[in-house]
Chain A
């Protein structure tokens, strides 16, 4: 291997040269940064400047490049040198744009720029060019679990894009829930009439597609491996097992209607009180004619009760059923009311709603039903009595009075319950007990596993993590198609309540994610959000203490354990957030271009002035996803903040190893600020759990600070969103003021 040669390039464009002493910076890079080559250029990102760097790489044997110019988020295409390791010192957004103008600030501005150059040089020295995670062979086939509308759409989309698809369907035919519908809500203009479901057409297309293999009457007995090499054991009803090798999985297992019999207060379980699925069955047997009840009587009046057992206490339901709105039921009731009106306009159809929610173009459909004479009554239904003549007691919310109406049939619009398999939180609890030798818990795990959909052979449990209401995982706020199980994507009502049109869109999205996953695996790259990243975690296992923190904390379940409890990395599942690296107490986990050392050396490269100079130094560890862009944005807006901070971008706050904090405080820093994404139920962390774990770790750092004889305020964490550019500047200034009040660190030497 050729010898490493380090070079620094300093840009004096964009006003950098006007306010900074570029010659001085060159000296810093040479003397402190120990760069073999140091060059400056008045316009580094233009063709000439880039050529200068390219020539040095090609002819001068430069292997490591530090570019001191703009933020690492700017000019990424110009400064793209895939054959060498590159670090960026942020002189533009990080220094000249955010430090107050005027000669009063010349000194501290220059000091800041020098520190950033030192840091860039120190970082690049510890970096290596990642070689990617190439495997000899990887499968590009896509497994679709569930053959309903979502599953069939995903399968057809993936097949149309040229990928082989395997469908596993539990029942004897494709079509799922939609197969039992008479008609569906319209998807296109004029949104006035119910349409044919199109299920048969889709099933026929799948049958005729040579790229799609269908396993009917089958379930997944076991799914092992990682993206690009999932081994799925498909069990048929008969017990026969087929093994399929697939690259990615789309879980489109749909929903089950909430058990109507549980809605006793709304007449659930009584005669002539049905749910929407029950009405579809009645309408199907009517076959376009007048709809008759189960007892054969023609329905002359029907009442639809919306939000039955849904939306907690807010809607028509009650708190002990479903908390959420299932989204499709208003439009579905409208459609079903049309079944009656279309067959016989004299049938009394009343829809009792508290808030009619018709997403998409549903408003037009709603209007169409009104034209047909469907009556909509804003009301809260208190009680339904079934029987030969049903009676609905309700409060009219417009006229503010309690009243009742008689009907031949009552339809309860119940909600969607996702078929998401095992709840991993409960699973982990039980498994921990079982591992402790609890025989009952052990039996319970076997029982629980019977309810699993994917039967994953992952240390974290057999299914995808679930949301608050038991829906399968997704990054709900920022990246709805993403999940915490790389290469496995949920689509349709298993992910969130939705109607058929939304499910189809969702399924095409999931199919695309699956395609991305298999393509990335083939090239040895990471998937979202560090798409294309070739680095992956490497562990020096000889130093490992088998503490299991990395395996437990990995948000993506990428790390399994071997028999000796050493971590086993499944790089294909890894998203390169570095949470394992932040977790490791003995610091044996690192990436080629991001490690305890690359950041640690930057921390050490900062010149900490002695206490008599009265210039504090604050370390700012900023998440590269939201906080660091917000800092850049502050620069773009020319907001000023203190020149005493030194910002280092991190992949995720979850990757922050406490050694960085103790090291910086030990070497005389006066404070450490951390900025990461919001965590909690409405998290914005791009790695889902990273910022939460960081918050948890930092809550324990008080003891360490006490041991060091430092105030607790010397380490603070903030939740920052990408739009918070004004706030980050204020947070920094406030913190610097606070540190100056507390006084400088006693650890300076």
Chain B
């Protein structure tokens, strides 16, 4: 259990709804759900989810903390915004889903190896390093995220596309060494650190 998680459990005891309200982006909307189920019926990925948004909201109210934060549901959201458009109570459901996913990730309760979570992490790390996305390194990191042998297999399978991109000058093989970057990398790092500090303070995670 992460320190943040231990601290959250101690602080909110059994009141998970309150925790969500204070610590999850747009979490204060959860109490306004009227359980009509329109979101669950509107989600194109509905059958692929462990829990529909409707159930997630009900579980939050019922205090099912581990189940909610450990659910893969929020990670399955494709941000199609169907639920937001249709919600009769105007809940920003997509945003709440992302907020919950983010919170679960911060507390390290999100499912391990969940592909969306892994890709997001790789993307973020890639971006923050230089302030620019290094597409070659990001692609390679993705190929090799499940081990070396799998990485080689993935790379072989994508060979044709890679060569094509190179021919069309869409992919520079030289990016593998260093690559393009921002002018003020320490400045970017400082900025991100400050943003996190503000965010954590606001959400009581500091």
Q: Which residues from chain A sit less than 8 Å from chain B, CB to CB?
A: 356, 366-367, 370-371, 373, 375-378, 396, 398-399, 403
Contacts and interface: CB of A to CB of B under 8 A. Distances in A.
Interface residues of B, number: 13
Contacts of B58: 377-378, 396, 398-399
B33 to A, nearest CB: 8
A398 B32 contact: no
B17 interface: yes
Contacts of A376: 34-35
Contact of B32 (A356, A370, A396, A403): A370
B196 interface: no
Contacts of B35: 376, 378, 398
Contact of A373 (B31, B54, B89): B31
Contacts of A396: 58, 62
Contact of B62 (A367, A371, A373, A399): A399
A375 B31 contact: yes
B62 A377 contact: yes
A356 B33 CA distance: 13
A682 B191 CA distance: 72
Which are the 4 A-B pairs with shortest beta-carbon distances?
A398-B58, A378-B35, A370-B32, A370-B31
Given A375-B61, A377-B62, A399-B62, A367 B54 contact: no
B32 A367 contact: yes
B189 interface: no
B61 A377 contact: yes
16 contacts: A366-B34, A367-B32, A370-B32, A371-B32, A373-B31, A375-B61, A377-B61, A377-B62, A378-B35, A378-B58, A398-B54, A398-B55, A399-B55, A399-B59, A399-B62, A403-B62
Contacts, number: 32
A528 B14 CA distance: 62
Nearest to B31: A370
A109 B139 CA distance: 88
Nearest to B28: A371
A371 to B, nearest CB: 7
Interface in B42-63: 54-55, 58-59, 61-62
B59 to A, nearest CB: 6
A373 B34 CA distance: 13
Contacts of A403: 62
Nearest to A348: B15
A477 to B, nearest CB: 29
Nearest to B18: A373
A396 B59 CA distance: 10
Most chain-A CB neighbours within 10 Å: which of B17, B34, B55?
A: B34
Interface in B1-48: 17, 31-32, 34-35
A371 B17 CA distance: 13
Contacts of B54: 398
Contacts of A367: 32, 89
B117 to A, nearest CB: 24
A377 B61 CA distance: 8
Given A375-B61, A396-B62, A399-B59, 6 more contacts: A367-B32, A370-B34, A377-B58, A398-B54, A398-B55, A399-B58
Contacts of B64: 399
A203 B169 CA distance: 88
